């Protein structure tokens, strides 16, 4: 993005070049992805393709059909195509905040509106951007992304980056990304991701039910919810801390203490309630900063509100989407107030 209010024509020109370079890599990366697409049906029918790949794709198409027929998600060619991208992630997202803030550095685009990250098709480019942000004293986090939605502008493919997943996780991804195609509000990442996460979770529950599978273990769901709650509680404490008029060095020490408290509470919960299950150890043991907490608030904040809305609409997907669209059409302040009311009603 072009920086504003910086003196000197040269700075403006350099910033413009940077913006052009960024958009160029976006366009190039998306074009390469589009060129790599081929119909899933052809891959499945090709005996020279790896049997495991073909079997995964067969199962994916069952979930894809379920998404449109039962979840009333878009019935198009998205996820009926396959692309071998030759790398573990399709993009790397760079999240950033100020040192004493949990507000993401937003980036605005013509189609998607403003989002809380910047995406790069090259890991080295993402690392370069992260290094520049760190030089400015910002908290930064890089996250690899196996898939994304173009919001219906293109037919999105299943990618080779997803093939190490189990069949159910691939199905959940399809439900999530098609939900974005079904409805999307510009400039409200929390709304969009929470809504799609709810569709993913409820869709997966129904997908398991129609196949005669038992619901996902309550223990696993409880662990996930408890872990997310730890993160969100830490966010609240940090937000309260950053609102205080403290000197930078005092604030820095208090910030570090909050992250240590998070680790301590996690380990206590893991050992006392989860039987020592270490599924989240890798995440919790990495260096902490504000930016690493951002995706949790973005993807999970309003999931209970959407669950309450779904129940309020009698579990009817068509009525639910209509209600989501009405919410999305409200001014931001009214939208958040309505979501808070739904969240309270669902407790």
Instruction: Indicate the range of 103-112, 266-275, 330-339 predicted with least confidence.
Output: 103-112
Half-sphere CA count of 176, side-chain side, radius 13 A: 20
DSSP structure class, residue 313 = T
Q: Around Cβ 260, how many Cβ atoms within 10 Å?
A: 11
- The residues, ordered by sequence, that sit 6+ positions from 32 with a Cβ below 8 Å of its Cβ are 85, 121
Q: Which tens digit of pLDDT belongs to each residue from 276-325?
A: 999 999 999 999 999 999 888 667 789 999 999 999 999 999 999 999 99
The structure's pTM equals: 0.82
CA 194 to chain centre: 9
Q: Around Cβ 29, how many Cβ atoms within 10 Å?
A: 18
- Torsions phi, psi of 147, nearest 5? -160, 160
Does 126 have pLDDT greater than 90? yes
How far apart are the C-alpha atoms of 291 and 141, rounded to whole Å?
5
Q: Which tens digit of pLDDT belongs to each residue from 72-92?
A: 999 999 999 999 999 999 999
318: left (phi over 0), alpha (psi -120 to 50) or beta: alpha
Which pLDDT band, with edges at 50, 70 and 90, does 4 fall under?
A: very low
Q: Which tens digit of pLDDT belongs to each residue from 206-248?
A: 999 999 998 877 788 889 889 999 998 999 999 999 999 999 9
Task: Enumerate the domain spans of the chain.
Answer: 1-35, 38-210, 218-345
Buried b (16+ CB within 10 A) or exposed e, 310-340: beebeeebeebbebbeebbeeeeeebbebbe
How far apart are the C-alpha atoms of 156 and 175, rounded to whole Å?
13
pLDDT of residue 9: 29
Mean pLDDT of all residues in 114-120? 85
């Amino acid at each position: 993005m072009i920086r504003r209010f910086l003196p000197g024509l040269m700075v403006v020109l350099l910033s413009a070049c940077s913006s052009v370079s960024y958009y160029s890599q976006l366009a190039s990366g998306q074009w390469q992805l589009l060129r790599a697409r081929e119909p899933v049906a052809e891959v499945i029918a090709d005996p020279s393709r790896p049997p495991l790949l073909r079997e995964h794709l067969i199962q994916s198409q069952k979930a894809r059909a379920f998404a449109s027929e039962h979840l009333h998600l878009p019935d198009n060619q998205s996820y009926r195509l396959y692309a071998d991208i030759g790398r573990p992630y399709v993009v790397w997202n760079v999240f950033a905040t100020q040192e004493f803030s949990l507000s993401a550095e937003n980036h605005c685009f013509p189609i998607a509106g403003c989002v809380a990250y910047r995406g790069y098709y090259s890991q080295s480019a993402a690392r370069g951007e992260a290094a520049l942000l760190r030089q400015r004293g910002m908290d930064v986090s890089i996250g690899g992304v196996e898939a994304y939605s173009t919001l219906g502008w293109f037919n999105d493919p299943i990618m080779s980056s997803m093939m190490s997943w189990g069949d159910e996780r691939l199905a959940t991804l399809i439900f999530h990304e098609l939900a974005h195609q079904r409805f999307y509000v510009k400039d409200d990442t929390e709304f969009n991701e929470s809504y799609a996460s709810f569709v993913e979770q409820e869709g997966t529950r129904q997908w398991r039910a129609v196949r005669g599978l038992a619901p996902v273990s309550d223990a696993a769901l409880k662990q996930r919810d408890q872990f997310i709650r730890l993160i969100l509680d830490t966010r609240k404490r940090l937000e309260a801390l950053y609102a205080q008029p403290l000197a930078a060095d005092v604030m820095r020490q208090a910030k570090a203490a909050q992250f240590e408290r998070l680790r301590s509470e996690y380990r206590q919960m893991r050992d006392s309630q989860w039987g020592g299950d270490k599924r989240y150890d890798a995440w919790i043991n990495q260096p902490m900063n504000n930016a690493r907490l951002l995706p949790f608030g973005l993807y999970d904040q309003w999931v209970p509100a959407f669950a309450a809305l779904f129940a309020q609409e009698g579990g009817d997907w068509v009525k639910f989407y209509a209600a989501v669209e009405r919410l999305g059409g409200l001014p931001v302040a009214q939208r958040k107030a309505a979501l808070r009311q739904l969240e309270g009603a669902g407790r």
